[in-house]
């Protein structure tokens, strides 16, 4: 106060503004804010790049090029010695691809004496035609001698060319389809005989060395079994453990150890669970390798901490007044927990379980160690049969070099991401709808 009165000149004159670096400080403020926006933009960019890379590589996998052939099931080729009535092996081992090749040759007007032409023709359609026609004939032998219209898969290279994934401008010696084959392909396309159809094989076939006949059938069944095992083991065990820790356990050394333990298990690298499964379930208990049972058990142990942590949070969110009221009207402690607290915590538990399951569905590393990297062509019937899992199948396809496998891999990733999206969205909806705030 006294300072001001000592300086009478200052009252009328405007004080010179002291430079406190406001400009610089505001610039720093703007820069800082910009860094934040840039960081978020980088994160978003990679999310978009990842999804774009998968989608653009993979959406074509859901369509497969097929060609409609009028195949004459010639008894002279299927059964040259006419022994099919006595020897059942004849129909199983007959040379079916020749039938498809002849049908195609007829269609395109290639003479059967043109050896080189016939060889190139044979590469137009997939070797998978053998199994397809065999199934047709074995299931209904009376078809022999008739002419059937059949949609036949094209070879993987033709499929890629048809989808425009092979650069046709380079010299034919440097690409996998010859000019002749492209000419035939275009001819068949203009006649409407060759077309892209929905790829049901992607969801039904098992492992195969040919891209066009390999699919996710085995992997889907294996993953389904594992998810069921994880659900039926980890949900009851996880809920029981959480109830004990949250409602019954006294605060002592032991519960402290269990608690630290669970938090640590949640952060243990997943591959360590694979080593555990290999050493304990396979090496010690002699369970079968590659079986979805072992995979399910390993994933259960891995998911348990997640479910326990979520369940405990849900139990803790139930207000103590509910417990006091239940006990007050004469319920025993067990009745209080199971009749009142647990139903109120159920939505939270369910949400946590679904998120844990989604996590388990995408997990690959532990499954590699218990032998799920296997070439399994036939669908598993029980959880003890060899099978693969969705992410493991992706891993195996990712190691294949062919272009068509990149497409399949991306397609499989889309399937996996769709499953995960559905599970997570379900969890979010459940949370939104049933979440209670006291």
Nearer to another protein, 118 or 398 (CB): 398
Classified as helix, coil or strand, 196 is strand
Nearer to another protein, 153 or 239 (CB): 239
* Residue whose token pair is 């994934």: 165
DSSP string, 370-415: TT------SPPSSTTSB---HHHHHHHHHT--SHHHHHHHHHHHHH
Phi-psi category of 286—alpha, beta or left, where left has phi over 0 and alpha has psi -120 to 50? Answer: left
d(CA 423, CA 417): 10
- Which among 194, 83, 101, 193 is positioned nearest to 144, based on CA atoms? 83
Contact 182, 155 (CB under 8 A): no
- Shortest approach of another protein to residue 214 CB, angstroms? 16
- Shortest approach of another protein to residue 39 CB, angstroms? 3
Nearer to another protein, 44 or 92 (CB): 44
- Which among 160, 162, 220 is positioned nearest to 186, based on CA atoms? 162
- Shortest approach of another protein to residue 308 CB, angstroms? 7
- Shortest approach of another protein to residue 437 CB, angstroms? 17
What six digits make up the tokens of 294? 């072992």
Nearer to another protein, 126 or 410 (CB): 410
DSSP string, 297-344: HHHHHHHHHHHHHHHHHHHHHS-HHHHHHHHHTT--HHHIIIIIIHHH
Nearer to another protein, 156 or 394 (CB): 394
Nearer to another protein, 39 or 324 (CB): 39
Nearer to another protein, 57 or 214 (CB): 57
d(CA 24, CA 118): 79
- Shortest approach of another protein to residue 71 CB, angstroms? 32
Q: Any alpha helices (H) in 163-278, and if so which ranges?
A: 179-190, 201-204, 217-243, 253-267, 270-276
What six digits make up the tokens of 17? 């503004």
- Which among 52, 244, 47, 212 is positioned nearest to 126, based on CA atoms? 212
- Shortest approach of another protein to residue 31 CB, angstroms? 8
Nearer to another protein, 184 or 273 (CB): 273
- Shortest approach of another protein to residue 358 CB, angstroms? 7
Q: Are strands 63-72 and 194-198 parallel, antiparallel or unpaired?
A: antiparallel
- Shortest approach of another protein to residue 45 CB, angstroms? 9
* Residue whose token pair is 């033709």: 158
Nearer to another protein, 34 or 168 (CB): 34
- B/e letters for 369-398, b = 16+ CB within 10 Å, e = fewer, are bbbbbbebeeebeebebbbbbbbbbbbbbe
- Shortest approach of another protein to residue 92 CB, angstroms? 15
């Amino acid at each position: 106060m006294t300072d001001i009165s000592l300086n009478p000149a200052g009252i009328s004159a405007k004080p010179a503004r002291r430079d406190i670096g406001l400009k610089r400080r505001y610039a720093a403020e703007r820069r800082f804010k910009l860094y934040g926006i840039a960081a978020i933009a980088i994160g978003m960019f990679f999310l978009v790049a990842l999804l774009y890379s998968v989608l653009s590589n993979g959406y074509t996998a859901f369509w497969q090029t097929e060609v409609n052939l009028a195949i004459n099931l010639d008894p002279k080729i299927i059964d040259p010695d006419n022994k099919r009535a006595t020897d059942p092996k004849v129909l199983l081992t007959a040379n079916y691809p020749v039938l498809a090749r002849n049908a195609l040759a007829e269609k395109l007007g290639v003479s059967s004496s043109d050896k080189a032409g016939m060889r190139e023709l044979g590469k137009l359609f997939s070797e998978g035609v053998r199994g397809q026609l065999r199934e047709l004939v074995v299931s209904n032998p009376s078809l022999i001698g008739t002419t059937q219209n059949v949609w036949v898969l094209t070879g993987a290279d033709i499929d890629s060319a048809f989808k425009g994934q092979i650069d046709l401008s380079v010299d034919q010696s440097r690409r996998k389809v010859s000019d002749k084959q492209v000419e035939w392909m275009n001819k068949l396309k203009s006649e409407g005989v060759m077309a892209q159809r929905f790829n049901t094989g992607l969801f039904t076939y098992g492992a195969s060395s040919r891209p066009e006949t390999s699919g996710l059938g085995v992997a889907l069944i294996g993953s389904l079994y594992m998810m069921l095992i994880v659900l039926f083991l980890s949900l009851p065990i996880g809920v029981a453990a959480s109830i004990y820790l949250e409602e019954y356990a006294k605060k002592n050394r032991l519960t402290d150890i269990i608690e630290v333990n669970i938090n640590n298990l949640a952060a243990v690298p997943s591959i360590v669970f694979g080593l555990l499964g290999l050493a304990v379930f396979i090496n010690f208990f002699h369970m079968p390798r590659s079986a979805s049972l072992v995979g399910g058990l390993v994933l259960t142990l891995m998911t348990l901490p997640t479910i326990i942590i979520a369940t405990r949070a849900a139990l803790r969110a139930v207000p103590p007044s509910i417990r006091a009221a239940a006990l007050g009207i004469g319920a025993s402690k067990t009745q209080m927990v199971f009749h009142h607290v647990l139903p109120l915590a159920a939505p939270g538990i369910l949400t946590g379980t679904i998120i844990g399951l989604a996590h388990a569905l995408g997990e690959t590393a532990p499954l590699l160690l218990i032998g799920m990297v296997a070439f399994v062509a036939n669908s598993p019937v029980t959880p003890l049969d060899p099978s693969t899992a969705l992410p493991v199948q992706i891993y195996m396809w990712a190691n294949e070099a062919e272009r068509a496998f990149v497409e399949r891999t991306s397609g499989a990733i889309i399937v996996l991401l769709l499953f995960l999206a559905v599970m997570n969205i379900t969890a979010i909806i459940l949370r939104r709808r049933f979440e209670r705030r006291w």
